[in-house]
Homo-oligomer: A and B are copies of this chain.
């Protein structure tokens, strides 16, 4: 049987999603927890492999198990085996056709940065930081030029292993709330470092170093060398993914699921 799970994690506690020898990763923690609760080893595959320091509000993953556990026991069991920086928000049984990565038709990332001249202390690991005043309006205006299907070579890291650089941006928005400027992007898929590379170039526009038109020019150039450096990972969040309705996934972890015995 295949299970889909929803995950929240603090990326500052892990060396990214993917298993590696150098230290704890989200995947290694989840696989260890699933092995304990399911009582057998299991591979866990996620929707969007996040880098070191990148967070998730609604990561989606799947694994296979024939162990019989109630929804409640899966969730409580997994969370009791996981370190503090990662929580399973929901779990549901899905058909074998479901694949956390390949079935998703839309992903959403959020990039948050503190825009004040003093660095963040409380959210030092969960907010990026720009000390120069930014115009969120100009950033938003520039970002609109990325809407639709384009070749995003200019915003693709050299280590990217995707077959091609064409992606469709479905929505992109930059807004300010007090000292915090937020970029939110939805696309059918993302290239390696794509959001942080877009954020890096938008910062140059927001600070006035480059004109609003620069982002469209960069896109046309299809040259990573011309764009700004990659923005830092602390402010990046994998917000969530969308799947065909037939899989009937919860859109978010419910605060208090209907009929749940909370006692």
Give chain A's interface residue range (CB within 8 Å of chain B). 35 or more
A84 CB–B CB distance under 8 Å: yes
Best-surrounded residue of A88, A117, A119, A124 (most CB of chain B within 10 A): A117
Q: Could you mark each residue 84-124 of chain A with 1 if its beta carbon is under 8 Å from any beta carbon of chain B, else 0?
A: 11111100000000000000000000000001111111111
Chain B residue, CB-CB nearest to A256: B133
Q: Is the CB of B118 within 8 A of A126?
A: no
Q: Is the CB of A87 within 8 A of B8?
A: no
| Chain B residues in 8 Å Cβ range of A115 | 255
A19 CB–B CB distance under 8 Å: no
A257 CB–B CB distance under 8 Å: yes
Q: Is the CB of B133 within 8 A of A262?
A: yes
A179 CB–B CB distance under 8 Å: yes
| Chain B residues in 8 Å Cβ range of A124 | 10, 84-85
- Known contacts A131-B262, A132-B262, A87 near B255 by CB under 8 Å: no
A200 CB–B CB distance under 8 Å: no
Q: Is the CB of A121 within 8 A of B256?
A: no
A62 CB–B CB distance under 8 Å: no
Best-surrounded residue of A7, A116, A118, A257 (most CB of chain B within 10 A): A118
| Chain B residues in 8 Å Cβ range of A119 | 79, 84, 87
Return the contact of A57 from the options B57, B88, B122, B126 (Cβ within 8 A): B122
Return the contact of A84 from the options B121, B132, B256, B257 (Cβ within 8 A): B121
Chain B residue, CB-CB nearest to A90: B118
| Chain B residues in 8 Å Cβ range of A123 | 10
CB interface residues, A 175-204, toward B, < 8 Å: 178-179
**A9 to B123 alpha-carbon distance, docked (Å):** 9
28 contacts between A and B (CB under 8 A): A8-B120, A8-B121, A8-B122, A10-B121, A10-B122, A10-B123, A10-B124, A55-B122, A75-B118, A79-B119, A84-B119, A84-B124, A85-B121, A86-B121, A87-B118, A87-B120, A87-B121, A88-B118, A115-B255, A116-B256, A117-B256, A117-B262, A131-B262, A132-B262, A133-B255, A133-B256, A133-B262, A179-B255
Residues of A at under 8 Å CB distance from B? 7-10, 55, 57, 75, 79, 84-89, 115-126, 131-133, 178-179, 253, 255-257, 260, 262
